[in-house]
């Protein structure tokens, strides 16, 4: 599997609670929440007491037995795994779900899918100070006063989901979401990112690989925004020039009859805005990539 990072592990440093469930679905629809909650169970104390790196790898959990495996005709079987992490001593909770492709030879791809699902949590752990760490006192407050003043507890809740849009024998497209609720921020925000893969070569496929006429594509995205009736503030922010400047780097996912693009917007507006256009409209601006046939455009 090319395009991924091998051997990368998250550096969470406290006790972990985790749950895992495999659900097989030929249509790759979102994971039913009821089934997830019924399957959740804490890991053993032995797993919790192991070293952080080894602990996190072991904490993925074994798949709960499934009574049946349903496979779509000509499509790979897809399962969804859920993991939960609670960092002791810090008010940080993480829940993610991500797809896994069944069958031999998919181990590296499945590892990459898990890493993508957890990437926001990893960045938070690497780049931010511990969520319970006190802020520095202002210059006009003495150290004695600062040490005795009550400190507000910061809490961060990350809830990540995923949906496999287009699984075929040749092409795989999945969208990840991460809802971020941080008590230090005035409003919650959301991240939306994708992963597309040419299953014949193992190469990751990006927006840059699939689209050639970026001026035309940005115009179609702007027209769709106007049709969707989004708020005036977002229409003012996401001008055609700004939409064009984001291409071809923005995440894109493909489903049956549609293409979905994710653009960053101000945190007050949610952090991310997705724009969905019909697949035949998106294909009008396509490159000559042979993958378009696998996506659904001949």
Q: Does 89 share its domain with 212? A: no
Task: Write out pLDDT tens, residues 224-256.
Answer: 999 999 999 999 999 999 999 999 999 999 999
Q: For residues 147 and 280, which has the higher predicted lDDT (pLDDT)?
A: 280
Spatial contact of 121 and 94, defined as CB atoms under 8 Å apart: yes
Is residue 136 assigned to a domain?
Answer: no
Give the confidence band of 121 by pLDDT, cuts at 50, 70, 90. confident
What's the CA angle centered on 55, arms 50 and 58, to 5 degrees?
A: 120
Q: Does 165 share its domain with 262? A: no
Q: Does 295 share its domain with 218? A: yes
Q: What are the backbone dihedrals phi and psi of residue 95, each rounded to the nearest 5 degrees, phi first?
A: -130, 125
Is residue 134 assigned to a domain?
Answer: no
As a whole number of Å, the end-to-end CA separation of the chain is 26
Q: Does 230 share its domain with 107? A: no
Is residue 66 assigned to a domain?
Answer: yes
Strand partners for 101 = 78
Residue finishing a domain among 168, 188, 205: 205
CATH of the domain at 9: 3.30.565.40
Q: Does 177 share its domain with 246? A: no
Q: Does 79 share its domain with 198? A: yes
Spatial contact of 272 and 179, defined as CB atoms under 8 Å apart: no
Which H or E element spans position 259? strand 258-264
Question: Which pLDDT does position 237 carry in this prediction?
Answer: 96
Q: Does 125 share its domain with 94? A: yes
Question: Which pLDDT does position 288 carry in this prediction?
Answer: 95
Q: Does 210 share its domain with 198? A: no
Return d(Cα 223, Cα 63) in angstroms, integer: 45
- Mean pLDDT, the chain, rounded, equals 73
Q: How many domains would you assign to the chain? A: 2
**In terms of residue numbers, what domain contains 215?**
206-298
Closest CA to 31 of 159, 193, 205: 159
Return d(Cα 196, Cα 252) in angstroms, integer: 8
Q: Does 76 share its domain with 115? A: yes
The answer, as to whether pTM is greater than 0.75, is no
Task: Write out pLDDT tens, residues 83-115.
Answer: 998 876 567 888 999 999 988 888 999 999 999
Return d(Cα 277, Cα 222) in angstroms, integer: 10
Q: What is the mean pLDDT of residues 153-176?
A: 88
Is residue 226 assigned to a domain?
Answer: yes
Question: Which pLDDT does position 27 carry in this prediction?
Answer: 39
**pLDDT over threshold 50, residue 34:** no
Q: For residues 136 and 204, which has the higher predicted lDDT (pLDDT)?
A: 204
Q: Does 54 share its domain with 118? A: yes
Note if the bond before 193 is cis, omega within 30 degrees. Answer: no
Question: Which pLDDT does position 260 carry in this prediction?
Answer: 97
Of 63-67, 184-188, 206-210, the range with the lowest mean pLDDT is 63-67
Q: Does 245 share its domain with 166? A: no
Spatial contact of 13 and 71, defined as CB atoms under 8 Å apart: no
Q: Does 216 share its domain with 91? A: no
Question: Which pLDDT does position 8 carry in this prediction?
Answer: 42
Is residue 143 assigned to a domain?
Answer: no
Strand order in the sheet with 252-255: 252-255, 258-264, 272-278
Question: Which pLDDT does position 37 carry in this prediction?
Answer: 29
Return d(Cα 204, Cα 101) in angstroms, integer: 15
């Amino acid at each position: 599997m090319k395009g991924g990072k091998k051997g990368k592990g998250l550096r969470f440093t406290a006790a972990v609670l985790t749950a895992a469930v495999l659900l097989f679905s030929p249509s790759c629809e979102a994971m039913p929440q009821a089934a997830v909650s019924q399957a959740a169970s804490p890991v053993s104390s032995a797993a919790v007491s192991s070293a952080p790196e080894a602990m996190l790898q072991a904490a993925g959990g074994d798949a709960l037995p499934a009574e049946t495996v349903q496979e779509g005709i000509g499509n790979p079987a897809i399962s969804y795994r859920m993991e939960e992490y609670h960092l002791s001593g810090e008010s940080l909770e993480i829940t993610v779900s991500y797809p896994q492709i069944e069958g031999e030879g998919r181990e590296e791809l499945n590892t990459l899918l898990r890493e993508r699902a957890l990437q926001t949590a990893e960045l938070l752990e690497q780049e931010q100070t511990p969520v319970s760490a006190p802020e520095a006192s202002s210059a006009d407050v003495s150290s004695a006063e600062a040490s005795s003043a009550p400190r507000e507890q910061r809490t961060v809740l990350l809830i990540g989901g995923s949906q496999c849009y287009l699984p075929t024998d040749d092409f795989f497209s999945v969208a990840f979401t991460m809802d971020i609720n941080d008590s230090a921020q005035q409003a919650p925000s959301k991240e939306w990112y994708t992963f597309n893969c040419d299953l014949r070569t193992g190469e990751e496929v990006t927006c840059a690989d699939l689209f050639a006429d970026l001026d035309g594509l940005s115009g179609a995205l702007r027209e769709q925004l106007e049709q969707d009736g989004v708020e005036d503030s977002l229409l003012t922010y996401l001008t055609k020039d700004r939409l064009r400047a984001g291409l071809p780097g923005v995440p894109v996912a493909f489903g049956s009859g549609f293409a979905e693009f994710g653009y960053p917007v101000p945190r007050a507006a949610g952090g991310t805005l997705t724009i969905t256009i019909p697949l035949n409209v998106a294909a009008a601006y396509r490159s000559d990539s042979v993958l378009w046939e696998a996506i659904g455009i001949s």
